[in-house]
Amino acid sequence: MLKLLPFLILLGYGLITYWFSAWRTKQELDQRSSPLADARLKALTDKMASAVGVDRIVVHIYEIEPVNGLASPDGRIFITRGFYNKYRQGEVSAEEMASVIAHELGHVALGHTRKRMIDFQGTNAMRMALATVFNRFLPGLGVIVANLITSLLMARLSRDDEYEADAYASALLVKAGIGLDAQKSLFRKLENLVGMGGGAPAWMLSHPKSEDRIRAIDENAAKWKLSPEG
């Protein structure tokens, strides 16, 4: 039991850290967001709401400039002001914005927030175990190696979540009659909009590269026997 104590302490610390982070995130979002009021987007979210059997889908505007969408730990969906401005300026279509909302709904529906909490705790425990082992052979470097391995693992788990949320969004967009074209066209322009990825190797990124996401959408469409337009 004593041998497990450091790992139990680390797991407890990870849980406390996660819940504190979730609480801070909620406070930040409460203070800097408001419900989205846009007739064109509401018409599309109403279609998605009907497809999943709920009265409505509430989307909030988060008052920050970086282009992003997010699902908060309490299940709310947010679009940043910077992203919404791109839509207002005509750089992003309403249907493309709807695909972002559908993706964030996927994170909520698939329980990715809770899953990431478990992943975070597990990789922290793994980091500690690996650091202990590697330090015996690589004094002073064991922690660095352990951090690298667990960071790559977390990136891989995050990419898996993104693919799952993309697939959920695809299914929802098709069921709502919106189709897949907008989801794919957004990915074609996403890296320019947000400056993500750059020249980093795919296995180091927390999000898949856009071409890989589009390929996965097409593969799902083929499996579901959809037309090219979704």
Exposed/middle/buried for 135, CB within 10 Å: 0-12, 13-18, 19+?
middle
User: Is 41 a domain residue?
Assistant: yes
User: Is 124 a domain residue?
Assistant: yes
pLDDT value at residue 141: 65
Selection from 153-157, 182-186, 204-208 with the highest mean pLDDT: 182-186
User: Is 230 a domain residue?
Assistant: no
User: Is 24 a domain residue?
Assistant: no
User: Is 20 a domain residue?
Assistant: no
Identity at 221, one-letter amino acid code: A
Which residues does 9 contact at the CB level (< 8 Å), separation at least 6? none
pLDDT over 70 (residue 127):
no
Mean pLDDT of 105-126: 73
Total of domains in the chain: 1
pLDDT value at residue 202: 47
pTM of this structure: 0.77
> How far is C-alpha 155 from the chain's CA centre?
12
User: Is 119 a domain residue?
Assistant: yes
54-68, 76-90, 128-142, 208-222: which range is least confident on average? Answer: 128-142
User: Is 17 a domain residue?
Assistant: no
User: Is 25 a domain residue?
Assistant: no
The whole domain housing 66 covers: 2-12+32-223
Per-residue pLDDT tens digits for 196-213? 544 444 444 567 889 999
Exposed/middle/buried for 206, CB within 10 Å: 0-12, 13-18, 19+?
middle
